[in-house]
Structure 1
Amino acid sequence: MTGSLVPAVSDHLELTILGCGSSSGSPAIGCHCPTCASDNPKNTRSRCSAYVRLGEQALVIDTGPDLRQQALREGLSRIDAVLYTHPHADHLNGIDDLRAFCYVKKGPITLYGNAFTLDNIRSRFHYALMPPSPVWDKPVLVLEEVAQRFDFHGVAVTPIPLQHGKWPCLGWRIGNVAWLTDLSHIPDDSLALLEGLDVLFLDCLRHDPYPSHLGVQQSFEWAQRIAARRTILIHMTHQLEYRALTAECPPGIEVGYDGLTIRVPLSAGAE
């Protein structure tokens, strides 16, 4: 499968964390814990997603319910495709906000995912899979089921099968950057797809164990096994305060925050 024969213009991948929070976000409604009451902007976390720029092309990973505010905050006006991890509401329910991006470019947006996620989108958002109207009054989306690495404008994109409790979730590797959110286990075959990473974004829900997510110590252990040059923790609840968690992190692991942007050379990941 190919995205286009046009190569990425830049030799760098740029990824911005749009949100690194859990399904409740931080501050959580009605809570006055140290994280929620904090004046540190790095403790303000919207729902988990990322924006990836590849030259003139742009991807998002998931469309959570905060997508509109995230796009306005970061000054985004272009999305060419979405990489979906799974259909939980905090990763999917901002899909209607793709309408604005379709309107701006007067063209459709391609959604990549596994059959489990795309079937959910067909069932719930079928109206977004129709041809455009003259006024572009709804999203115009095209579904592409993927199970193996494909080329997107000259850059290798690899779906990474993960287990999210009982759900089949996907992580995504783009060049030498991987985004693994909402997981409880990484199969051995998927670990092999994560070798040689420059940057790993990794699920880290809270200190206490949770059936469908990684806890702090589990995140540290998986980070050590994957051995990326740099690991950034994402999908955190308000139970994890930024400075306190930073103090716990071993070398090579850091705490993510909304708006954090990284730039990584594409040479090793490009085709």
Structure 2
Amino acid sequence: MQITILGCGNSHGVPCINCDCFVCKSTNKKNKRKRPSIFVEYKDTKILIDTSPDLRQQCLENHIIEIDAVIYTHDHSDHVAGIDDIRRLCKDKKPIDAYIDDSTFKSLSKRYDYIFKNNSPLYYSLLKRIKLEKFQKIGDINVSAFDQIHGSIISQGIRLENIAYSTDFNEIPEKSFEKLENLDVWIVDCMRYSYAPTHSYLEKTLLLIERIKPKLAVLTHMAHEIEYEEISKILPKNVIAAYDNLKI
């Protein structure tokens, strides 16, 4: 299985608008972070997780020209606002399977109703909603979804075989930890060094990594407080900071 980190930034991206901090002004490409998304390839199956506002650029940079399915973790704009760019990935005007839990679909179907409706020959539906279950097979990949607490909402963590993607959470319910056992790779939320009310942060993330014990942990959803070279010097051996277009 190959995972491509399409974006590892937070909702602002890095550099941020109207900021002249040293990270935003950095010339290091590993400090340039688009909004969060990953691309999963295994055998003949290609899955996109979330459609960030930067989806067009992410597809161009990584030569993504087709996908078999989309999985949505939750409805926040930094994870869904690139939904229109799915149009260029549809084959023969056929909608792409989209795995979405009930609360997220309720929101998306109101905000982007045209995405799911076949309104006319010119404006065909882009996505076909399939309910995201706690376990299902998508193409060649065994997929498990598990609840995460993200402020006032529940986001979905996604396990794909022995790799898990846990972005946008401040707490993981005890019952969800069983989905995080025996991981080869855990891609995990780490918004900044200091406390964040709706996201995990460095101290908390490292404690979770110590508990879960993945072979490799990859920090994502990082804000402009985190500089790539700086954080890389202090991380444990089995933990790395993500950067855009990283392949795992």
Q: 1:85 aligns with which of 73, 90, 97?
A: 73
Q: Tell me whether 1:170 sits opposite 2:192 in the alignment.
A: no
Aligned twin of 2:232 = 246
Quick one: which of 185, 191, 202 aligns to 1:216?
202
CA distance in 2, matches of 1:34, 1:164: 29
Matched with 1:101 is 89
Question: Which sections of structure 2, spanning at least 5 residues, go unmatched?
Answer: none
Letter in 2 for 1:63: T
| Higher RCO, Cα 8 Å, sep 6+ | 1
2:211 is the alignment partner of 1:198: no
Q: Give 1:121's match in structure 2, choosing from 82, 91, 108.
A: 108
Partner of 1:34: 22
Q: What is the CA deviation profile of residues 246-267 of structure 1, one whole-angstrom value per residue up to 9, with x for unaligned ones?
A: 11211211100000011xxxxx
Shift of 1:54: 2.1
Asked if the contact 1:99–1:138 (Cα under 8 Å) also holds between the matched residues in 2, the reply is no
Paired residues of 1:159 and 1:173 also in contact (CA < 8 A) = yes
State the alpha-carbon separation in 2 of the partners of residues 183 and 138 from structure 1.
34
Distance across 1 between alignment mates of 2:162 and 2:124: 34
**Equivalences for residues 127-138 of structure 1 within 5 A:** 127-131=114-118, 133-135=120-122, 137=123
Whichever residue aligns with residue 252 of structure 1, its letter is N
- Code of the residue aligned with 2:32 in structure 1: it is T
Give how far 1:133 is off: 4.7
Amino acid at match of 1:79: I
Whether 2:166 is the aligned partner of 1:180: answer: yes
Q: Which residue of structure 2 aligns with residue 232 of structure 1? A: 218
User: What are the Cα deviations for residues 155-193 of structure 1, in whole angstroms up to 9, with x where unaligned?
Assistant: 210002100011110010001000100000111111011
Q: Deviations over 1:106-161 (max 9, x none)?
A: 321111122111111111111111237544x4552111122311011232100021
RMSD: 1.3
Structure 1 unaligned residues grouped into runs of 5+? 1-12, 263-271
The TM-score normalised by the length of structure 1 is: 0.88
**Pair 175,132 (structure 1): closer, same or farther in 2 beyond 3 Å:** farther
Does the 8 A contact of 1:50 with 1:60 survive in 2?
Answer: yes
Residue in 2 that maps onto 1:45 = 33
The superposition leaves residues 180-207 of structure 1 with CA deviations (integer Å, 9 ceiling, x where unpaired) of: 0000011111101110000000000011
SS at match of 1:97: helix
Q: Which residue of 2 aligns with 1:17?
A: 5
Q: Percent identity?
A: 37
Conservation of the 8 A alpha-carbon contact between 2:219 and 2:242: yes
